[in-house]
Structure 1
Amino acid sequence: MLEQQVTQEPRRLPDDSRIYLTYTGLETDLIFNRGIDLPEFASFPLLEHADGRALLAAAFQDQIAVARAGGCGCILESTTWVANRDRAAPLGYGADQLAEVNRRSMAFLAEQRDAAGYDPILLSANVGPRADAFSPEVTMTADEARAYHAEQIGWLAETEVDFIAGYTLANVPEAIGLAQAATDHHLSVAISFTVEVDGRLPSGTPFPEALAETDATTGGAVAYYMINCAHPDHIARAFGDADAHWSPRLQGLVVNASRCSHAELDEATELDAGDPPELGRAVAALTRAHTQLKVIGGCCGTDMRHLREIVRNLSPD
C-alpha cells in the first residue's frame, strides 16, 4: 500500500459555524416518484436533452430553496456518481464521452449556483465506487484504486469543482486510493462510507476503524468524513465510542428514508419513503449528540419533503 507522502492539516468547510445541506437522493426520486427511467442508475444522460436538463435544474433549485429557507449553506452534488469507465460502459460511454460528461455535469452545477444568487453554494464532484457499493467481494488495493479513480478525478479537476466527494464507499482500500487520487490533483476531498444495518461497512469493517485507517494512510489529507446511504438508526450503531479521537473527523450524515437493509432496497419494486417528520427528528437528535456534524442531507428514498423536515428540526427556532 502506497502511503501519502505529506501529512496535511485537515481542511474544513469555508464556514464551519453553519450547516451545509446536501442531497444524493435524486436518482431514487426521479425513478420512483417521477417515473424517469435511469438505466444503470445513471442520471448524467439527462444532461443530453432539454427535458432532462430542466428536470435536473428544478431539482437543484428546489434544494437551494430549502437551504435558503433554513439559513443553511448548500452543497450541490454532480450527476457523476457512476460516470466512471466501468460503471458507464454498459451505457456505451467511452473515455472521450465520459470526459465530456464529467465536465458538462460540473458546468451545469455552476450554472445552477450562478442562477440561484445565493451564498454559500459549494460544487461537489460526486465520485462513486468502481463497482456496486454493496458487493464487498469486489475489491482493489489502494494503489489500484488510486490509479483507477485518477482518470475521472483528472477530468473533474479541469472544472469549477470546489472539492471531490467519494460517496458510498464500502471498503478502506478504495477510500484510501480515491482520496490519494484527489490530492494528487491538488483537490480537497471528502470521503463518505456507507454502513449496513449493524453500523459496519459492507466489508465488515467497523466504521471507526475504517476512518482511522484511511486518515492514517493518507496523512490526514481528507477534508472530512461522512456516512451516507443508511438510516439514522443504522448510523447511530456506527459511532462506537463517540468520545474517540476520530469523532471530530466525521462531519457529515446523508441519510436514507428507509430502515430497510441494502439487500432489501435492491430488491424493492416500490419506494420506501419512510416518515419525513420522523426522519427529520432522528437526524436532529444525532446532530445534537454529535455537534461536529456540519454536512447534512438526504440519500436514497428522500425528496424535498425529507430535506424540509431535516432543516426544520435543525433550526434552533
Structure 2
Amino acid sequence: MTLLPQLDAPLFLADGGAETTLLFDDGIDLPDFAAFPLLDDPDGHAALTRYYERYASIAERDGAGIVLETVTWRASTDWAARLGYDETRLAQVNRKVVDLLLDVRQRFAIPVVISGCVGPRGDAYRPETTTMSREEARDYHSTQIRTFAGTHADLVTAMTLTNVPEATGIVDAAAEANVPVVLSFTVETDGRLPGGDALGDAIEAVDRATNGYPAYYMVNCAHPTHIAPALDPEAERTTTGSSERAFPG
C-alpha cells in the first residue's frame, strides 16, 4: 500500500471544507450541498481552482504540506442521480477533480496529497438514512472508490460517517481496490456517533473487522469539546504522528 507522507511529517494542513466555503463565503448555490457539478461549468471550475490554491498558498507560506480533498462528498450514485448524473458522467466528474488537483499540485513547491473524498450514502445528519449492512456499503461505495483507484489520487477519505457498518464497508471497498483509506466520523455533543456508538468503540470495531487497514481516523464537523471526552488519551488510537492508527489531534 502507498506510503502517505502525512504520516511521517511534522505538519500537514487540510483544506477547510469546500462546500461550506463555496456556499456561505462565495455565495454559490449548491443543490443537495453538492459541489462536484461546478466542475462542468467554467466559472465553477475557476472557483474551485481558487479555493484549492488559497489553501495550498497558506501551506507553502508556512512550510507545511497539505492534503486536498476532492469536492466529491456527494459524488456517489444515489446523490448524483438526484442531480441528473448517470454512471458515466459521474465517473468522469470524479476523475476530472483529480486532474484539477494535479494541476494545482504542480504549481506549488510543497507536498500536496490528493484525497478522493467519499461521503455517506444517506444524510449524515439524519442517521436513519445511512443505515445499511457492511456488504451493502461495500457494494455501494466501491463504484466511486474504484474510479479513484484508476486516477492519480493518493488515497480516499470518507467523511461524516455515522455508523460502523458503513465505515467498515468503505474500508472493504478500498482494500479491494488496493488504495489507502482514511475514515472520518462525525459525533454528537456527547461524543457518540449519530448511530449511537461511542467514538472510540467505533474506531476499535472497524480496526478489528478490517485487520487495521485504515491509514488513520479523523473526526469532522464536530467541536473539539465533544470529541475529547470520548477518547482515552492513553489509548493507541489517540496517538498522533507516524502510527498507522494515528488519530490526528
Normalised-by-shorter TM-score class: over 0.9
2:125 is the alignment partner of 1:134: yes
* Mapping of residues 119-268 of structure 1, within 5 Å: 119-138=110-129, 139-239=131-231, 241-248=232-239, 249-252=245-248
Compared CA separation, residues 31 and 14, structure 1 to 2 (3 A): closer
TM-score, normalised to structure 2, is: 0.93
Contact 1:133 1:168 in 2 (8 A): yes
Instruction: Determine the C-alpha separation between the residues in 2 that align with 1:119 and 1:125.
Output: 19
1:137 partner SS: helix
Q: Percent identity?
A: 44
1:123 partner SS: strand
Compared CA separation, residues 78 and 145, structure 1 to 2 (3 A): same
Q: Which amino acid aligns with 1:62?
A: R
Q: Which amino acid aligns with 1:125?
A: G
Instruction: Determine the C-alpha separation between the residues in 2 that align with 1:59 and 1:148.
Output: 29
TM-score, normalised to structure 1, is: 0.73
2:221 partner SS: strand
Gaps of 5+ in 1: 1-7, 253-292, 294-317
Residue 15 of structure 1 deviates from its aligned partner by: 5.3
Q: Which amino acid aligns with 1:161?
A: A
Instruction: Determine the C-alpha separation between the residues in 2 that align with 1:49 and 1:12.
Output: 32
Instruction: Determine the C-alpha separation between the residues in 2 that align with 1:15 and 1:215.
Output: 17
Q: Which amino acid aligns with 1:203?
A: G
Q: Which amino acid aligns with 1:47?
A: L
Residue 13 of structure 1 deviates from its aligned partner by: 3.6
2:10 is the alignment partner of 1:18: yes
1:233 partner SS: helix
Cα RMSD of the aligned pairs, angstroms, is 1.7
Asked which structure has the greater RCO (Cα within 8 Å, sep 6+), the reply is 1
Contact 1:24 1:77 in 2 (8 A): no
1:154 partner SS: helix
Residue 198 of structure 1 deviates from its aligned partner by: 1.1
Residue 14 of structure 1 deviates from its aligned partner by: 5.2
Instruction: Determine the C-alpha separation between the residues in 2 that align with 1:132 and 1:14.
Output: 29
Deviations along 1:29-64, whole A, 9 cap, x unmatched? 111122110111111111112211111111101001
Deviations along 1:271-300, whole A, 9 cap, x unmatched? xxxxxxxxxxxxxxxxxxxxxx4xxxxxxx
Q: Which amino acid aligns with 2:158?
A: G
Gaps of 5+ in 2: 240-244
Compared CA separation, residues 30 and 150, structure 1 to 2 (3 A): same
Residue 250 of structure 1 deviates from its aligned partner by: 3.9
2:127 partner SS: coil
